[in-house]
């Protein structure tokens, strides 16, 4: 089945959204009980953490941890935004650099200037968008126009800019007082509207997940095993890291190791998205010659270049493993099922 489809629904009273591209589920969002990334709090500084350059802050949902605390003193009220999901037993990661993000516009208080996504290359289109931004933007906040603006209706973009600008003004005017949630972070349905392709068809009717095979994919994700076009891959989260073991399977040809590693590299970003995995990731590769490492790294970089989640490719270890560091912006799928 060619094309893109967005499935929206609920499971056990939790919002869910799935993106299907050419018949394959490429992204999956499931709501959780944890504070959502993007949530904005009025918090109160609590105590600094020596040696880490950070401070604990009180929020209505528990303690948060804030870095870059120059000039901040205990008892001071401040605005913070959730940047990701906390690991069990740890504080909520927050930042004092607020972003007000929608489909077309990102308003950046404290960072003035008008900027356009570098993905928009056409000079005439860039001029059109800058003209819209100058007319619609009010106040001293900064503005970033996202790649979704390309060819979008000017009135829709202007309304988006105005809405985010008004929200920023309202939040910044409410900075005094005790801990309080000021803005709820976006749920799966809002994120699907905001970040996934606008041209995709949407199926929000009863049984949408069954019609598009999303339930079957969810069942398959409970297993560590991933069958690849060449070989197999096992993805197993531990307390310290995510271990990925790549095997050649029944292929005994001289190029079997490289083929399995390349297949794993191409599918790894999708598997990590669907499983909600982040943090330290270690790949135990199938046997291949050192001369093939460059080809593997090129395939891995190309695969992650299309991924929206921030991932740093650290490189090979002395033992021949490959390491990555990935932002924790989702709850692991196992956490939804427990």
Closest CA to 116 of 164, 161, 155: 161
Asked whether residue 284 falls in the same domain as residue 316, the answer is: yes
Residue 47: inside a domain: yes
Asked whether residue 297 falls in the same domain as residue 243, the answer is: yes
Asked whether residue 92 falls in the same domain as residue 105, the answer is: no
Residue 242: inside a domain: yes
Asked whether residue 234 falls in the same domain as residue 255, the answer is: yes
Residue 184: inside a domain: no
* CA atoms within 13 Å, Cβ hemisphere of 98: 24
Given 152, 184, 212, the domain boundary residue is: 212
Q: What is the pLDDT of residue 250?
A: 84
Closest CA to 99 of 35, 146, 152: 146
Residue 14: inside a domain: yes
Backbone angles phi, psi at 275, to 5 degrees: -90, -5
* Cβ proximity of 109 and 138 under 8 Å: no
Q: pLDDT (tens digit, 0 to 9) for every residue of the chain, 338 residues total? A: 689 999 999 887 899 999 999 999 999 999 999 999 999 999 999 999 887 789 999 999 999 999 988 889 999 999 999 999 988 889 999 999 999 999 999 999 988 899 999 999 999 999 999 999 999 987 789 999 999 999 899 999 999 999 999 999 999 999 999 999 999 999 999 999 999 998 899 999 888 999 999 999 999 999 999 999 999 999 999 989 999 999 998 888 989 999 999 999 999 999 999 999 999 999 999 999 999 999 999 999 999 998 999 999 999 999 999 999 999 888 998 755 44
Asked whether residue 136 falls in the same domain as residue 205, the answer is: no
Asked whether residue 259 falls in the same domain as residue 201, the answer is: no
Asked whether residue 205 falls in the same domain as residue 248, the answer is: no
Asked whether residue 132 falls in the same domain as residue 150, the answer is: yes
Domain count for the chain, please give it.
4
Residue 189: inside a domain: no
Count other Cβ atoms within 10 Å, centred on residue 298. Answer: 12
Asked whether residue 204 falls in the same domain as residue 138, the answer is: no
Q: Are strands 14-21 and 24-30 parallel, antiparallel or unpaired?
A: antiparallel
Asked whether residue 266 falls in the same domain as residue 319, the answer is: yes
CATH number of the domain to which 253 belongs? 3.40.630
Residue 269: inside a domain: yes
- Domain of residue 115, residue span: 100-175
CATH number of the domain to which 51 belongs? 2.40.50.140
Residue 190: inside a domain: no
Residue 25: inside a domain: yes
Asked whether residue 298 falls in the same domain as residue 314, the answer is: yes
């Amino acid at each position: 089945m060619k094309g893109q489809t967005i499935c929206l629904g609920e499971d056990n009273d939790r919002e869910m959204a799935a993106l299907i591209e050419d018949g394959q589920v490429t992204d999956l969002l499931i709501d959780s009980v944890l504070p959502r990334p993007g949530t904005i709090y009025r918090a109160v500084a609590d105590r600094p953490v020596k040696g880490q350059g950070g401070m604990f802050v009180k929020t209505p949902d528990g303690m948060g941890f804030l870095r870059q605390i120059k000039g901040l003193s205990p008892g001071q009220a401040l605005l913070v935004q959730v940047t990701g999901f906390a690991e069990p037993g740890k504080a909520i990661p927050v930042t004092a650099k607020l972003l007000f993000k929608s489909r077309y516009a990102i308003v950046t208080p404290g960072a003035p200037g008008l900027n356009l996504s570098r993905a928009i290359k056409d000079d005439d289109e860039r001029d059109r968008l800058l003209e819209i931004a100058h007319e619609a933007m009010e106040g001293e906040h900064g503005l970033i126009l996202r790649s979704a603006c390309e060819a979008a209706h000017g009135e829709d973009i202007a309304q988006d800019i105005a809405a985010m600008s008004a929200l920023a003004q309202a939040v910044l005017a409410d900075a005094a007082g005790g801990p309080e949630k000021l803005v709820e972070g976006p749920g799966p349905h809002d994120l699907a509207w905001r970040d996934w392709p606008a041209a995709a068809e949407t199926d929000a009717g009863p049984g949408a997940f069954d019609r598009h095979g999303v339930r079957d994919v969810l069942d398959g994700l409970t297993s560590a095993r991933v069958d690849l076009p060449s070989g197999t891959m096992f993805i197993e989260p531990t307390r310290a890291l995510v271990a990925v073991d790549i095997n050649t399977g029944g292929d005994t040809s001289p190029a079997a190791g490289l083929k399995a590693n390349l297949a794993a590299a191409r599918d790894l970003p999708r598997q990590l998205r669907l499983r909600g995995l982040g943090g330290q990731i270690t790949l135990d590769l199938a046997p291949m010659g050192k001369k093939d490492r460059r080809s593997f790294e090129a395939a891995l970089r190309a695969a992650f270049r299309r991924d929206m989640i921030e991932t740093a490719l650290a490189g090979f270890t002395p033992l021949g493993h490959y390491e990555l560091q990935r932002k924790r912006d989702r709850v692991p799928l196992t956490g939804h099922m427990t």
